[in-house]
Amino acid sequence: MLTNYIRAAMSSATYELLDDGTFYGEIPDCPGVWGNAETLEACREDLQDALEGWIILGLRLGHTLPIVDGIDLNFSKDVA
């Protein structure tokens, strides 16, 4: 499920070539997740690393993560 979430989130990433010749990428549904590198492939790798860290930290801190392509990583807390 985690791999599918990462794959789905990465498929919504947007990239742009900056004036300094580097590439910038971000995932609109994941605030604060961005990457920057000298090549597009390196930018994708940097962005995925940032996404993975963001997911781990979010889960650890109990943040609500966005549902991406119907994939929900949030824990359900059933009330007894």
Q: What pLDDT is stored for residue 4 in this prediction?
A: 97
Q: Are 4 and 71 in contact (CB under 8 A)?
A: yes
> pLDDT (tens digit, 9 = 90+) per residue, 29-73?
999 999 999 999 999 999 999 999 999 999 999 999 999 999 999
Three-state secondary-structure class, residue 74:
coil
Confidence of residue 75 (pLDDT cuts 50, 70, 90): confident
Q: What topology is assigned to 2-61 in CATH?
A: Double Stranded RNA Binding Domain (3.30.160)
For the chain, the domains span 2-61
Q: Are 25 and 15 in contact (CB under 8 A)?
A: yes
Task: Identify the DSSP state of 71.
Answer: B
Residues 1 and 15: their CA atoms lie apart, in Å, by 25
> Chain centroid to CA 72: how far?
14
